[in-house]
Structure 1
Amino acid sequence: MSTDYQQAREALGLALRELRLSAPGGRLTGEQLVQRLGGGWTKSKVSKLENGRQTATAEELQAWAEATGRPDAYPGLLAQLRGFESHIRSWRRQLASGHRPVQDAITAEHDRTQTLTIWENVLIPGMLQTADYARHVLTRHANLMQSPRDTEDAVRARVQRQAGLYEPGRLYRIMIWEGALFSLVCPPSVLAAQLDRLTGVIGLDTVELGVVPFSASLRIFPGNGFWIYDDRRVVVEDWHAELWLDDADSVATYQRVWETLSESAVYGADAQNVIARARRALHTR
């Protein structure tokens, strides 16, 4: 995936170089281009962009197209950028304006999805988070990423998305590792309310909530969390970025991972018992 991403970034760099070398008024040197682009631009930055060592923003692509006398080239450049950004979305770039835009982007995926298949190994999935729990999770992530604070807007967006749980015709296949029930990413009282929330959704006809207990025999290790949107797309979270995978082979792989993990999961009353055990353990801390 990283190789594909780098190759796409280098292809964009080649397109930028071609615009500089074929400018309508004659080829531009790096220094001449910098002068046209103005403040914030350096020859080093131009070189990094052209050689695929730095990813341009949409605004930088537009400025480049205009500075080289080819504003008509901007839509094509933007399409190239969107093409590989749709696969690897770095948190640094996504969170440049805070968490709310990230929530809005994922809500758009939810709105056109009938069956959402989720695996989480360390957190309660956003679709089932209480507002207090979500607030602590988002605050910690903003601290780590040193991103702008729009926590309350992001919390509202995440909670509003949960309305889908009550829409007939939708199905949420949610599975979590028991460790997520014990992760104190929030105060114990907040986690207690969150666990109560989990037991409350068991029995909804739109939700299949499974828990993989610590004691379960596993056919595969419980790796990163991921979300499968119908058979169309998988979103995988890592520390540096989200991976948005659209190819059929990747979607099928994550479906197999989920099905394999589900062989170790418990549902219904058994899942409630696992959650209740975690709930009781909070009183011993």
Structure 2
Amino acid sequence: MLEPDNREQGRKHLAEALRDLRKAAGLSGDRLAVRAAMSQSKVSRIESGKVLPTVVDVERIVKALDVPAEVAHELLSLARAANVDYASWRSYARVGLWRKQAELKALAESSSAVRQFLPAIPSGLIQAPEYARAVLTPTVKGNPDRDVEKAVRARLDSQEVLTDESRRFHFLLTEQAVRWQRAESAVIVSQLRHMSALVDQPNLDLAIIPNGVMVSAAPLNVFVVYDDRLVIVELFSGEVALRDPQDVEYHLNLFEYFRDRAVSGERAKILLDSVANEFM
């Protein structure tokens, strides 16, 4: 993620605060490690700022140090903030949006399972070329300029990760995302045919929540979960990265909730082909 200044400052403050509290308690790193059920090397990496502690890590440390409740609350708040990154699309545009596509490819290549919840638009990993071009072309005032063709090439290049059958990809769309007309009808038909052809790929689960199905939870945001370590939530202005295990677990639970109400396999192909016929 970009915009590192505030993020790095928060990590530095957290590392310094934990180190100072340990010293004030008169404990060595070894002794704190025993009390917090951590390795001494992990305690050292946290205090030096080389490793960002999770909220659970900080909870274990402050409990081991027996710090006052108000201090513990402040440190936990700092840990939650440090485990959240925000990057605006303007920031990506300044260095080249194509770099974002390379970053997403690297994230997928470092994961054994990628789950994408897509209530409004198909993932870039499953976009046909002309559809990707339409999506990446700025249309709304304030949407930053970018080298569209370079971004499209980078997006198509990132799709090579789908050929690695050692990884599992889960794409969960709403029917609204399938039907939303982001481009001319012929482009939409091509996109729908492209997704239909992907349904049979062995390492790929493409599922769709049909209109008319009872779904009590609201599909508020696009989000992607990489294994059980990272969530990327997409906003109009940018995206937020969440690393706290509780946040990751919650989004995994959300994904499974929505997935249980979706169709896949042959039923997904029938739905996609039916919508394609309507656009034709």
Q: TM-score, normalised by structure 1?
A: 0.68
Identity among equivalent pairs (%)? 24
1:247 to 236, 244, 247: 244
Q: Any conservation in 2 of the 1:97–1:147 contact (CA below 8 Å)?
A: no
Q: Distance in 2 between matches of 1:268 and 1:245?
A: 31
Match of 1:209 in 2: 206
Q: Which amino acid aligns with 2:219?
A: P
Match of 2:112 in 1: 114
Q: Any conservation in 1 of the 2:83–2:242 contact (CA below 8 Å)?
A: no
2:100 to 99, 102, 126: 102
1:195 to 172, 192, 196: 192
Match of 2:181 in 1: 184
| 5+ residue gaps, structure 1 | 15-82
Give the aligned CA root-mean-square deviation in angstroms: 2.5
Q: Any conservation in 2 of the 1:98–1:147 contact (CA below 8 Å)?
A: no
Structure 1 residue ranges, 4+ long, deviating more than 2 angstroms after superposition: 5-12, 83-86, 143-149
With a CA cutoff of 8 Å and minimum separation of 6, indicate the structure with the bigger relative contact order: 2
Match of 1:229 in 2: 226
Between the two proteins, the alignment pairs up a number of residues equal to: 209
Q: Which amino acid aligns with 1:106?
A: L
Please say which of residues 93-102 and 196-205 is displaced more in the overlay: 93-102
1:203-256 deviation per Cα after TM superposition (whole angstroms, max 9, x unaligned):
111101100000111131222111111111010100122001111011101001
Q: What is the DSSP-based 3-state SS (H/G/I as helix, E as strand, rest coil) of the residue aligned with 1:116?
A: strand
Change (3 A) 1:8 1:202: closer
Q: Distance in 1 between matches of 2:258 and 2:193?
A: 24
1:36-63 deviation per Cα after TM superposition (whole angstroms, max 9, x unaligned):
xxxxxxxxxxxxxxxxxxxxxxxxxxxx
Q: Distance in 1 between matches of 2:134 and 2:260?
A: 32
Q: TM-score, normalised by structure 2?
A: 0.69
Match of 1:282 in 2: 279
| 5+ residue gaps, structure 2 | 14-80
Q: Any conservation in 2 of the 1:174–1:209 contact (CA below 8 Å)?
A: yes
Match of 1:123 in 2: 121
Q: Which amino acid aligns with 1:89?
A: A
Q: Distance in 1 between matches of 2:205 and 2:92?
A: 30
Change (3 A) 1:11 1:271: closer
